[in-house]
Structure 1
Amino acid sequence: MPKKKKDRRERDQQCVGHLRGQTGRVVGRSFPDQAAKNSPDHAQYFHVSQSLLCRPEISIKLPSHCRRKDRHRIVKRILILTAGFGEGHNSAARGVRAGLARVAPKIEVELRDLFPETFGAFNEIVRRTYLALINRWPKSWGYVYNWLDRKKDFAKRFEKFRGLKKNLGRLLDRFQPDVVVSTFPPYPYLLQQILGNERRCKNIAVVTDSITINAIWYRSPADYFLVANEQSAAVVRNGGVSPEKIKAFGFPVSPRFADFANLSRRSLAKAEDRQLSNDAAPRVLYVINTGTRHAPQLVRKLLEVNIQLTVTVGRNEKLRRAIEHAAADHKIDIFGWTDEMPRLFCENHLLIGKAGATPG
């Protein structure tokens, strides 16, 4: 081997060896303490362009001759973490995934709910208890909410989630994400406890509360807090979070909403004119999320006026039968769980739903 080429190869090997000793760096898709098994030829490459997902100071770029021949470009990996304690968390997670698929289709995205994977049947018991509490005894849930809001030792309490941290650690080790996006509050704390301050991946919290935001969100060690609006940003800022860490990006929804919004206003106006001229009844969408007890009664009341009614009942077959019975001889459209919410939203004049996130 020519001396010049040999010297250059030795410099590259020293560079990779130095990077292996830096906490939080990733070489060969492994953390530094696991990198010894990787040869310099398996070094990980990162692009250097600045963005929210990858700042230049956490990026490295090695000479092109070191690259694996089967790797022509670098694909970022984004891990989205959610939990089934209320549909808002899952809805936000799906919205983030769908948005990433639209704007960056070549990145690798994995969406996981580690709670049922960790706690099994016990998680389902806790989840159902939580939903029953907020739906049937909202005042009791209010006491719990306020108790949480006053606490300041969240990190210490989450240290006890050993099984959850173990599963998350395995997932991080396998997937090696560049960014972790959490739509459920505990995850940013757990990520910090597993990887520490010198972690390479970004820790991003998507705050699913709006305006009334529990302290469990903004006391977390996340790098960025994505909130729904400026009012929510003010709450997080008043909670002690630096303004540069807060991004008012809106609530994550399916990009299909934008597809419908980009339809020609002229064609929509023409369609509206035709409907009004034909004395078409206004179209009303009733999305039943929680509080199903009074839903059949509301359907009967709505059908007393001249409207075209569409009702969504999710996976609740008992509720579907109750709505069908309430409708009697009236013609209404009933949907179970559906991914057509963007279309339904845009095809109706009025939405009746709950406060907070409506599944999309």
Structure 2
Amino acid sequence: MIRAGIVGISGYSGFTALDLLLKHPNIIVKYVSANNTTGKVCDIWPKLSGRTNLFCEIFDLNKAIELCDVIFLAVPHTTSMKIVPDLLKAKIIVIDLSGDYRLSTSSAYEKWYGVPHVDAKNLKKAVYGLPEIYRERIKKSKFISNPGCYPTAALLALAPISSIFTELIDSIIIDAKSGVSGAGKKASVALNFSETNENFKAYKVLNHQHNPEINQYLSKFANKNMSVDFVPHLLPCTRGILETIYVRLNSKLSLNTLHKIYKRFYKTEAFVRIADIGQQPELKNVTGTNYCDIGLSVSKDKGLVVITSVIDNLIKGASGQAIQNMNIVCGFNETLGLL
């Protein structure tokens, strides 16, 4: 059995990771902690009553290292980079769910996250944990930077067209919508029920920290500099992400050709499902799962591709993908604990 720990158990991603790991046949969770929350886990999260006797305490580095083989960092941005160096030094497998190691340079991190990066030397050691694209690199690594929720849906939707039809692409616009849990558990007036119920709004327009992450990896897929216009919105629901992606082309591309490429690209992937022509994915079909569902449409003049991509932001967009990455690192069946 692999001994696992979760740092940040009081947040939604930490809870989701624990909920999933408690069902994993090859994992025993030995350690959980939080920054400001202590007590029995079943008191913090009553949904887990009868399933665990774990006690949540303030993070203790030495205890975490002693008890764990793998640690999930479900902590706020800017926190992981203060913990990771010691965990790596102790040869712990680290799965970081924050944004601290997703961008390739410390200057980009400071620009988008507002603080200097204090562990720049490990930025190049982190492997981006998008299994469908970087599985072979993940297998060889002990330090995984889990993708953001919006980038997961966007990059899976765009990987085939950006890598195969690179020269046909003129522009990309991503219209993204997320449930309220994507903003985390911290109290905020803007996230109160009375503010979000029966409401719908854009936020961080063209200025979201996931924009450079999407650009960075999309450019790698295309082997050239790529940039998208990204606009996120807040949905009046708890969880789920739906992205409508508009890809303007400079040459014609048929829907049948595109659909065949996508089906072939993801043929062996357990967690990516391509909708039949004429069908569109829906949030209700992925919430509570590690699936990414993708739908395709092409305009009558064959000059505009519209891709729809849906995921559960807390599972495929966070903790489920983190466990998928752990399975790969540990040599387990990739779907263990997730199906």
Q: TM-score, normalised by structure 2?
A: 0.31
Q: TM-score, normalised by structure 1?
A: 0.30
Highest Rg: 1 or 2?
A: 1
